[in-house]
Chains A and B, each alone.
Chain A
Amino acid sequence: MHNGGVRLLAWLSIGTVAGGALSDRDATVDFAADVRPLLSDRCFTCHGPGVADPAGGLRLDLADEAVDPDGFSAIVPGDSDASELVRRLAHEDPERRMPPARSKLELTDEEKDLLRRWIDQGATYGEHWSFVRPERSAPPDVRAEDWVRDDLDRFVLARLESLGIAPAPEADPATLLRRASLDLTGLPPTVDELRSFLADETPDRFERAVDRMLASTAHAEHMTALWLDVARYADTFGYQADVDMNVWPWRDWVIGAFERDLRYDEFLTQQLAGDLLPDATHDTRLATAFNRLHRMTNEGGSVEEEFRVESVADRVETMAGAFLGLTVGCARCHDHKFDPISQRDYFGLFAFFDGIDESGLYSHFTTSVPTPALDLPTEEQAAKLAEAQAKVDALEAQIGDEPAPLSTLFEADFTSIGTKGAVLRAIADPEIVEDEEDVPFVRLDGENGVAAHSVGEFRRGQPFEIELSIRVPRTFERAVVLHRSRAWTDAGSRGYQLLIEDGRLSFALVNFWPGDAIAIHAVEPVAVGRWIDVVMGYDGSSRVEGLSLTVDGERIATEVVRDELTRTIQSGMGEQLTIGSRFRDRGFPGGEVRSLVVRGLSQTATGVHVDLQRARKNRDYLRQRIPQIMTMREAGPPVPERVAYLLGRGLYSERLEPVEPATPASLPAFTDEAPASRLDLARWLTHPDHPLTARVHVDRLWRVAFGRGLVPSADDLGSQSRPPRHQELLDTLARDLIESGWDGRALLRRLVLSATYRQSSAASEESRRMDPDGEHLSRALRTRHVAETIRDALLRAAGRLSRTTGGPPVLPYQPPGLWAETASKTYTPSEGEGLRRRSVYTFWRRTLPPPTMTLFDAPSREVCRVARPATTTPLQALALWNDPQFVDAAVALARVAIESAGADDAARVRYLVEALASRDPSEAELEAMSALLQAQRGIYAQDPGEARMLAEYDIERVAHPGKAAGESEAAAKDDQVLDDATAVEVAATAVVASALFGLDEVVARR
């Protein structure tokens, strides 16, 4: 951008995009599968969609433009030699050869040949595979009928038979149980579960085990953990200050949704638009927090609109990544170079998410939940609040229109500023002047002001009046005349304030601007250049009708700006009633103030008005204690309708023309009616003919079951995406999903019970040779588990995993000082079972996520991520050895093994391997580990003190080293000091357990 022109997007090709057609000379070239991705990758930068001025006027994405039967034609169908496109690929003049050298793109000979063959075969264009409705294919015939358990197996087997590979034999029952248990619940079977499964001789034992798993809370927790990456869920706002945000009730909503098997169309709809459903409930509104989990900043000096646009953009990109499998972020700044998503399409989607009454920033000085927010009362809280409200209602009815009897509480004497004990205090030297009648008044410059100590500390349930005499020097776009607040955007404007905006007076009581406030704005401009007397009046009702502005004794006409005040207007941050000056705001430059009178109910007043004030105080106190969560709620009157704009280069400051909500033009609309709301968007996404939604979800479920999706690029079904390895299968399952009423759990059950799933992961020679990557599904894949599963499974194997579900996030052990050294925050580990809950409950700080998770490739959750890499690093080995959580697990497992297996070394090793890998040890394992056990026993016998340090290792004590005895679980255990012999046994066995954490099954599927 800074260079003026758009430079060529010049890339190197990594991997070839074309699939199988490369090799087979006679095969029909598939435009969608092979040609379009290739053209898209190498040619569309200059000759594709989104190019304002395609090179040579040529677009290769449109058949009509590439093929011109009359004139000069880049592509002559049926005749590659006559096609300029082919000539240019091998042109002797480097200046004319395509792609041009400056693009740093090339085509391999195979790829050139592919294009030639496509042209020779007629150069038929077709739509990209994922942009047309998925259609069912008849399951192919197979020879080995016996192998088939589900129609889906036929697709797999037909491919294997055509390649001449036999499917792998069925995995042994123990392996299968472990695999299914980890895939579906994220937890391994316990030793007892495994043994009773193996002892069960009924033919449907696996089916029943799978049904048990799918019905378990553990399954819901596991599915939730996977969804949290997509939803970019975290417990903090992100950006540098990274303050906590209270959104875990949404996480529990997700767990609940999986637990009660909420159908996928509902799951999607409730999260996108649960607030707009005709039968919206508290629960469906809570679901919409999905759209608010994006990062937010409170960094001083940030431009509010800049970051509001970021929030909305993040909603769009998360929706597209989660449900469409498309990356639309590129189209924010320019038409997409490959996918047919234009910038207009992007902002059409943007307009769906733009209509809530929100701020782009959260408050630095207060803990307001950014609006719109949903109250989350317990039943008891709700009942108490209703009772308190009834009292207020009764008193309000009793009082009717009778105004509260206000008396003067304070009258300013500006000559007192700077004197001893004065209530008034100068901020940055305001000028004190005397007028013609020797009346002293204050003259301000914008930076300075006058603050009154302990004056006007009104709650929202208290009626008050503030009268002041001011002279406005000129017409202001914005000026702060009087306020009681800590700051402007840095405090969400919490407090009350008299401003001049657009030349007119405005008066507001604010909890969090803009969504939790009442505000009025004068219709007529304020008089300039003469003294006027202004009274701000408020009746204590928390309703906008209770606000008034009076000028020179006349109540003036005002319009309602906001009418929703539900929370306190006090921040307790030392705010004072102040004339002029406000932190990082404009003040009242050139403004003059000569009197200030504050009125309210006197302390000694009695009667029904005081009763009402007390009743309101009680109600407001109860309300204030009810936690809230950010959700979606469309703004309505009086909030002015927000117009979404197409933003030049995606920048908040470059508004071009207004845009209406719209689904992308290149995807079918299904209806003639223009979509207007997020609910329409959700309905569109879940339309039975939608080309993407079902495919994306089938692929997600396939990934859950098989460790890898059918679509090679899990995060992308766009036009650069390679076609799925089994498109007929994917599409057939997509139809099945839709026709089942989006029953994801039923589909997952089918996948796991299929013959394909039950294959062994051991690769036959043939499978290894013909299907090296496993993409033809000739065996089960040995993919690495996600971080959460690795931790949870180890804790579970050791009998240390807490099975408590739901609730606020917990802080398991992490090395001390990590938070402090980057951001002056203290990480205080949880106590007791909080150290041992499932990882889905681990507190997720975006700027420094839990290290044991990130070491195993968990993302930061700053943005939507659909798939995780699975890497291997030395730091992972160190974590498995030495993370105190795992040391604790090794010791705990050792104790269990000793208890269960007794003194026999082989039995003990057998138990450990069974617990960690759900199988019997091999001879080599038995031998090596028994030898290790024996060796350690000998070494520790020499030094029982050393053994005791390991044998008595306890995560509780490591996490809370400073704890005095008696305060923790660990301390209680201290009473039972191990005798030397026991310590030696436990320590030696723990060493073996820890060594066995290096078994590949601990981190990878089998």
Chain B
Amino acid sequence: MTDERIDHGLRNLGRRSLLRGATLGLAGAALSRIARADDGEGVPPSPTARAKRVVHLFMSGGPSQLDLWDPKPLLRERNGEELPDSVRRGQRLTGMSGNQSTLPLAGSHFDFAQYGQSGAWVSELLPYTAKIVDDLCIVRSLETDAINHDPASTFLLTGSEIAGRPSLGAWLSYGLGSMNRDLPEFCVLLTRAKGGQPLYQRLWGSGFLSARHAGVQLRAGSDPVLFMNDPPGIDRATRRRMLDALRAARSDSDGAADGAALARMAQAELAFRMQASVPEVADMSDEPDSTFDLYGPEARKPGTFAANCLLARRLLERDVRFVQLFHQGWDQHAGLPKAIRVQCSETDRASAALVTDLKRRGLLDDTLVLWGGEFGRTCYSQGALTATDYGRDHHPRCTTMWMAGGGVRAGAIHGATDEFGYNVTQDPLHVHDLNATLLHLLGIDHERLTVRHQGRRYRLTDVHGVVEERLLA
């Protein structure tokens, strides 16, 4: 019911203003709307932009940093001993392990080694990623506010635990517009049939921004975008005739001069183009065998994480601004050693392949790759600690993520945690700081990317966030 024209005007204004810091009147907004009914083109990149595109590999559930990235020999030495109060410092636990009679330290069952020039420690679970550590900027000190999945995922991906805010990709779409003519500007790919912590549209939704900024889910299978396939009996030529007839029909109608009506016609034409461009991008048959050698044979199966990584590369190549992959199943409260092995076998090779592939195609320089979950996991075992098994509960106070390309410092290791892997001891990076830095890499001042809603301006970073310069190349 809000007038779309206002929304539209704000969008143009917001984008432009954030890039040049000017204030315009509403008259200006209206003018820019009229001048640009079809809002397909992007905005010229800011001179400070290091990245044009982002691919986010979201590891839903919270991977254990202690078994993958942040080795703590002390936990092995003191395996089974109680977590000292001096380390926990009374900080809250979840109700799942908060009532346990003991909190036994759990050393990782997995061995770590150092790799690359950077000498980064990587677990044996990630043999492929280990080979590309010199391309990565590893952050061991990411901290968040929330301790349960829903609030923590919502916080990481929308900047607020409260539902209703635009997601990261929606902010980028709002702020930067689209760089391509035929594809959505924000694509979401889910690994098929994973199970685990449920996902929800809010994580890629547009919140109070208009629906045009919401992530578009590309689904594995024959109808990758909702309602893309024409019904039986209507082929492509018929669809074209329908559109042409409509255009001819409207030529003398009352609505011809109506900007919104023109915009709708333009969007219908874009829809027609998407009907061709989306299947083309989803059809991997033109990929050489060498691609599958890189990503692994799983990449041939639509809907796998590996196939989604490859699809992500194809989308990025076509200048889709933001691609977000969701891979569920990292929530290992119990039976961690077995389950994490499966998770890594599904994701390690393709994640590394994506970075390598982008690099060899010259896309890594201006494509930012992010890998990580909504929080870390505890250094103590949830449930019984046995010789062969342990589980880890949610841990908001630290986790590890990595970034690559797009202007981040390759081969860097940022931040450190204490010897229990419980508290950050050096260079904490809060979720707001991460998002501020991410926007900075895209040439956006996170304090200027705002939208007015319910009487105030909203930001992805609320009133927080500091660009972490040390992550930048």
Interface residues in chain A, defined as those with a beta carbon under 8 Å from any beta carbon in chain B: 1-3, 6-16, 22, 104, 106-108, 110, 238-242, 295, 297, 299-304, 321, 326-327, 329-330, 337-339, 428, 445-447, 489, 584-587, 589, 653, 703, 707-709, 712-716, 718-721, 762-763, 772-773, 781-784, 786, 815, 817, 821-824, 846-849, 851, 854-857, 859-860, 862-863, 865, 867-879, 881-884, 887, 921-925, 927-929, 931-932, 935-936, 939-940, 946-951, 953, 987, 990-992, 994-996, 998-1001, 1003-1004, 1006
- Beyond A824-B198, A875-B226, whether A14 also contacts B100 by CB under 8 A is no
Q: Is the CB of A239 within 8 A of B7?
A: no
Q: A107-B23, A585-B99, A995-B246 are in contact. List 14 more A-B contacts (CB 8 A).
A: A240-B149, A301-B98, A447-B100, A708-B3, A720-B455, A862-B202, A867-B2, A878-B226, A927-B249, A946-B233, A950-B234, A991-B234, A998-B268, A1001-B255
23 residue pairs A–B, Cβ–Cβ below 8 Å: A11-B457, A15-B9, A15-B13, A16-B25, A106-B22, A240-B197, A338-B456, A707-B1, A715-B453, A762-B254, A783-B1, A821-B190, A847-B202, A873-B212, A875-B225, A877-B268, A877-B271, A878-B227, A882-B229, A990-B233, A992-B245, A999-B249, A1000-B250
In the assembled complex, the Cα of A990 lies from the Cα of B102 at a distance in Å of 69
Which 3 pairs across A and B sit closest by C-beta, in order of nearness? Answer: A950-B233, A301-B94, A847-B200
- Beyond A718-B455, A773-B5, A929-B245, whether A584 also contacts B96 by CB under 8 A is yes
Residues in A neighbouring B197, C-beta threshold 8 A: 240
- Beyond A783-B3, A872-B260, A877-B271, whether A721 also contacts B231 by CB under 8 A is no
In the assembled complex, the Cα of A818 lies from the Cα of B239 at a distance in Å of 26
Q: Is the CB of B210 within 8 A of A869?
A: yes
Interface string of B257-274 (1 = CB under 8 A from A): 110110111011011101
Q: Of A321, A932, A953, which one neighbours B231 at CB under 8 angstroms?
A: A953
Q: From residue 231 to 247 of chain B, which have CB atoms closer than 8 A to chain A?
A: 231-234, 238-239, 241-243, 245-246
Q: Is the CB of A587 within 8 A of B101?
A: yes
In the assembled complex, the Cα of A445 lies from the Cα of B104 at a distance in Å of 14
Residues in A neighbouring B2, C-beta threshold 8 A: 714, 867-870
Q: Is the CB of B447 within 8 A of A713?
A: no
Q: Is the CB of B394 within 8 A of A874?
A: no
Q: Of A3, A106, A301, A587, which one neighbours B393 at CB under 8 angstroms?
A: A301
Q: Is the CB of B212 within 8 A of A878?
A: no
Q: Is the CB of B249 within 8 A of A924?
A: yes
In the assembled complex, the Cα of A203 lies from the Cα of B214 at a distance in Å of 49
Q: Is the CB of A871 within 8 A of B246?
A: no
Residues in A neighbouring B143, C-beta threshold 8 A: 2
Chain A CB within 10 A, most for which of B18, B30, B211, B448: B211
B162 at the interface (CB under 8 A from A): yes
B253 at the interface (CB under 8 A from A): yes
Residues in A neighbouring B149, C-beta threshold 8 A: 240, 299
Residue tally, chain B, CB below 8 Å to A? 122
Q: Is the CB of B4 within 8 A of A3?
A: no
Residues in A neighbouring B226, C-beta threshold 8 A: 815, 851, 855, 875, 878-879
B392 at the interface (CB under 8 A from A): no
Residues in B neighbouring A849, C-beta threshold 8 A: 201
Q: Is the CB of B1 within 8 A of A301?
A: no
Residues in A neighbouring B18, C-beta threshold 8 A: 12
Residues in A neighbouring B13, C-beta threshold 8 A: 14-15
In the assembled complex, the Cα of A719 lies from the Cα of B245 at a distance in Å of 50
Chain A CB within 10 A, most for which of B97, B233, B270: B233
- Beyond A870-B2, A873-B212, A877-B267, whether A11 also contacts B459 by CB under 8 A is yes
Q: Is the CB of A878 within 8 A of B101?
A: no
In the assembled complex, the Cα of A707 lies from the Cα of B239 at a distance in Å of 32
Interface string of B27-66 (1 = CB under 8 A from A): 0011000000000000000000000000000000000000
Q: Is the CB of A330 within 8 A of B250?
A: no
Main secondary structure, interface of A, reads loop
Q: Is the CB of B17 within 8 A of A303?
A: no
Q: How far is the CB of B268 from chain A (nearest CB, A)?
A: 4
Q: Is the CB of B455 within 8 A of A924?
A: no
Interface residues in chain B, defined as those with a beta carbon under 8 Å from any beta carbon in chain A: 1-7, 9-10, 13-14, 17-18, 21-26, 29-30, 92, 94-102, 143, 145, 147-150, 153, 162-164, 190, 192-193, 195, 197-202, 205, 208-212, 214, 216, 219, 221, 223, 225-234, 238-239, 241-243, 245-246, 248-255, 257-258, 260-261, 263-265, 267-268, 270-272, 274-275, 384, 393-394, 428, 430, 432, 445, 447-448, 450-457, 459, 463-464, 466
Q: Is the CB of B25 within 8 A of A703?
A: no
A824 and chain B: residue at smallest CB distance: B195
Q: Of A104, A303, A772, A862, which one neighbours B21 at CB under 8 angstroms?
A: A104
In the assembled complex, the Cα of A765 lies from the Cα of B400 at a distance in Å of 61
Residues in B neighbouring A709, C-beta threshold 8 A: 1
In the assembled complex, the Cα of A939 lies from the Cα of B235 at a distance in Å of 11
Q: Is the CB of B17 within 8 A of A12?
A: yes
In the assembled complex, the Cα of A824 lies from the Cα of B328 at a distance in Å of 12
Q: Is the CB of B463 within 8 A of A873?
A: no
Q: How far is the CB of B119 from chain A (nearest CB, A)?
A: 29
- Beyond A869-B7, A924-B248, A987-B233, whether A15 also contacts B452 by CB under 8 A is yes
Q: How far is the CB of B415 from chain A (nearest CB, A)?
A: 14
Residues in A neighbouring B192, C-beta threshold 8 A: 821
In the assembled complex, the Cα of A22 lies from the Cα of B470 at a distance in Å of 45
Q: Is the CB of B198 within 8 A of A847?
A: yes
In the assembled complex, the Cα of A485 lies from the Cα of B231 at a distance in Å of 52
In the assembled complex, the Cα of A867 lies from the Cα of B17 at a distance in Å of 25
In the assembled complex, the Cα of A851 lies from the Cα of B227 at a distance in Å of 10
- Beyond A720-B455, A772-B30, A1000-B261, whether A848 also contacts B393 by CB under 8 A is no
- Beyond A12-B17, A104-B445, A862-B163, whether A882 also contacts B96 by CB under 8 A is no
Q: How far is the CB of B259 from chain A (nearest CB, A)?
A: 10
Residues in B neighbouring A299, C-beta threshold 8 A: 148-150
Chain A CB within 10 A, most for which of B199, B229, B264, B466: B264
Q: How far is the CB of B37 from chain A (nearest CB, A)?
A: 9
Residues in B neighbouring A327, C-beta threshold 8 A: 454-456
Q: How far is the CB of B131 from chain A (nearest CB, A)?
A: 32
- Beyond A11-B447, A931-B245, A995-B245, whether A863 also contacts B95 by CB under 8 A is no
Q: Is the CB of A106 within 8 A of B232?
A: no
Q: Is the CB of B267 within 8 A of A874?
A: yes
A825 and chain B: residue at smallest CB distance: B198
Q: Of A304, A338, A857, which one neighbours B211 at CB under 8 angstroms?
A: A857
In the assembled complex, the Cα of A992 lies from the Cα of B246 at a distance in Å of 9
Residues in A neighbouring B164, C-beta threshold 8 A: 859-860, 862-863, 865
Q: Is the CB of A1000 within 8 A of B23?
A: no
Q: How far is the CB of B32 from chain A (nearest CB, A)?
A: 12
- Beyond A849-B201, A874-B270, A994-B242, whether A881 also contacts B230 by CB under 8 A is yes
In the assembled complex, the Cα of A874 lies from the Cα of B271 at a distance in Å of 5
Q: Is the CB of A877 within 8 A of B150?
A: no
Residues in B neighbouring A856, C-beta threshold 8 A: 211
Q: Is the CB of A586 within 8 A of B99?
A: yes
Q: Of B14, B198, B261, which one neighbours A822 at CB under 8 angstroms?
A: B198
In the assembled complex, the Cα of A598 lies from the Cα of B453 at a distance in Å of 62
Residues in B neighbouring A946, C-beta threshold 8 A: 232-233
Q: Is the CB of B454 within 8 A of A715?
A: yes
Q: Is the CB of A877 within 8 A of B264?
A: yes
Chain A CB within 10 A, most for which of B209, B229, B250: B250
Residues in A neighbouring B243, C-beta threshold 8 A: 995, 998
Q: Is the CB of A869 within 8 A of B249?
A: no
- Beyond A15-B24, A784-B4, whether A295 also contacts B163 by CB under 8 A is yes
Q: Is the CB of A240 within 8 A of B447?
A: no
Q: Of B193, B239, B252, B268, which one neighbours A924 at CB under 8 angstroms?
A: B252
Residues in A neighbouring B251, C-beta threshold 8 A: 924
Q: Is the CB of B200 within 8 A of A782?
A: no
Residues in A neighbouring B453, C-beta threshold 8 A: 715
Q: Is the CB of B10 within 8 A of A14?
A: yes
Q: Is the CB of A869 within 8 A of B199?
A: no
Q: Is the CB of A932 within 8 A of B23?
A: no
- Beyond A877-B264, A928-B245, A947-B233, whether A15 also contacts B29 by CB under 8 A is yes
